[in-house]
Amino acid sequence: MDRPPLTDAPAPRAGPPSGGFGRLSFGFLGVSVLSGVLLVPFYSPAAAWDSLENIQGGLAWGFFLRALHAYSSFAVLVTMALHVVQVLAARTERQLAAGVWWRSVILLPVTIAALLGGFVLRGDAEALAALAIWKRILESVPFAGAEIARLFLGSVPGDLGAVALHHAGTLTLLLWFFTAEHAGRLLPDVRGTVLAALVSLALAGTVPLPLGAPPAASPAHLLGPWSLLGLQGALVYLPPAAGWLLPLAFVLLLGLVRHAESPARRTLLAALAAACAVYAFFTVRVLLSAR
Amino acid sequence: MSSRRDFLGQLWTWTGRALIAASGLVLFRALRSSAPPVREVALDAAAVARAVASGGAAIGEIFVSGTAEAPVARSLACTHLGCRVAGAPGGFACPCHGSRFDAAGAPVAGPARAALARVSLARRGDAWIARL
């Protein structure tokens, strides 16, 4: 029987060529959601600081669980950013349909909003400051700013219930749906999840996550979430509306990369790289000024 | 046959969009009507007297100075982005973006452009009621 001749064509790969960090990001999201669910019975948005103090000091393995949730959540953003760089470097963004690509791009601000929600839920001095700034930034949106602020942050001053619901509900569901659509699978794969779990466990076990300053404290410097330090630095010089305009501009530029041909694509990538460099500069500046 | 199916498909799509728009409108109206009212915070008269006697001190989110009979209150919320300012040499400083205010609450440096907001105080029994 004649066999078809062997060819030099490479065997098809199991996944998309630039999906390594993406799979890992989905795995970290799984670890983050699971550890977040485990924290739910011990956290109260009405007594955020007290419940966090109890989780940290009064609950067996509470400090570890909290660190696991925090580090796995941080890692979702880090691996997602690395995945974006990998995709852009490999020019594989057109493997996704336009709608899926845009929803995938929206994952970035949704992840940052979820992280900001988690930061605010600490209820410490830095968290309360972040909440006040978040409110002012949302209120600077024209026409419906105050309503948008109430939608996300609630209408009762000092009540973190709305933030908690969006953190654990709306934003997490959006993250999961868009990630699942992007990955073409409902659940993260075993390899990505196990690797993400091992990294998160190692970090939670070796790098303790301290409690912040009590809500009534008045430290000389307050720092926002690490992913938003660049924005904190930029807002010294820019009006509050820059707090939503700059992220929106970044997301639009990133989204447009899929539709641009060279040399417009190169220009967009250069603009994104410049924005990242400026952001890194402001991040370092804020960190240095707080020392 | 195909045109009837297309028509029904379009009908479902536009009905869905209309429902989403209507829900958005209802939510917007509800959010607009849920604006938080002016908050009243009761300050213990003895604490106010102590703050005044010491030349001015923070009570929660309010800085109280002036005289025991006519205390003056200012919000400690930075007029830039709302962080709580802290006492600093010569006035107040914002720990978030570095705005500085003099002892009277006027901005002297940093991104804040407006003075710390005055808070009205009214005596009610053994307390001063601050309206925020």
**Distance between CA A179 and CA A24 in Å, rounded?**
12
Q: Where are the alpha helices (DSSP H) in B1-132?
A: 2-33, 45-53
Inter-chain contact B28–A219, Cβ cutoff 8 Å? no
Q: Domain containing B56 — which CATH number?
A: 2.102.10.10
Whether residues B22 and B54 share a domain: the answer is: no
Whether residues B56 and B91 share a domain: the answer is: yes
Whether residues B74 and B24 share a domain: the answer is: no
3-state secondary structure B112-129: CCCCCCEEEEEEECCEEE
Inter-chain contact B36–A155, Cβ cutoff 8 Å? yes
The percent of residues in chain B predicted with pLDDT above 90, rounded, is 67
Whether residues B72 and B92 share a domain: the answer is: yes
Whether residues B3 and B60 share a domain: the answer is: no
Q: What's the pLDDT at A7? A: 45
Mean pLDDT of B30-52: 87
Inter-chain contact A150–B34, Cβ cutoff 8 Å? yes
Q: What's the pLDDT at A2? A: 52
| Residue from B28, B80, B97 whose CB has the most chain A CBs within 10 Å, to mutate | B97
**Distance between CA B15 and CA B70 in Å, rounded?**
62
Whether residues B30 and B45 share a domain: the answer is: no
Where does the pLDDT of residue A217 fall: very low under 50, low under 70, confident under 90, or very high at 90 and above?
A: confident
How many domains does chain B fold into? 2
Inter-chain contact B96–A232, Cβ cutoff 8 Å? yes
Whether residues B71 and B30 share a domain: the answer is: no
Q: What's the pLDDT at A12? A: 43
ipTM of the complex: 0.87
Find the helix or strand (DSSP H, E) in which B63 lies.
strand B62-66
Whether residues B22 and B46 share a domain: the answer is: no
Q: For A20-209, which CATH superfamily applies?
A: Cytochrome Bc1 Complex; Chain C (1.20.810.10)
- Nearest Cβ partner for A222 among B35, B95, B111: B95
Residue A17, both tokens: 């060529």
pLDDT tens digits, residue range A42-64?
A: 999 999 999 999 999 889 999 99
Whether residues B127 and B106 share a domain: the answer is: yes
Domain positions in chain A: 20-209
Q: Is the pLDDT of residue B55 over 60?
A: yes
pLDDT tens digits, residue range A89-138?
A: 999 999 999 999 999 999 999 999 999 999 999 999 999 999 999 999 99
Domain that holds residue B96: 40-131
**Distance between CA B95 and CA B104 in Å, rounded?**
18
Q: Is the pLDDT of residue A18 over 90?
A: no
Residues of A in contact with B34 (CB under 8 A): 150, 155
Q: Is the pLDDT of residue A9 over 50?
A: no
Q: What's the pLDDT at A291? A: 80
**Mean pLDDT of chain B, nearest integer:** 91
Whether residues B30 and B49 share a domain: the answer is: no
Mean pLDDT of B29-47: 86
Whether residues B28 and B61 share a domain: the answer is: no
Whether residues B52 and B107 share a domain: the answer is: yes
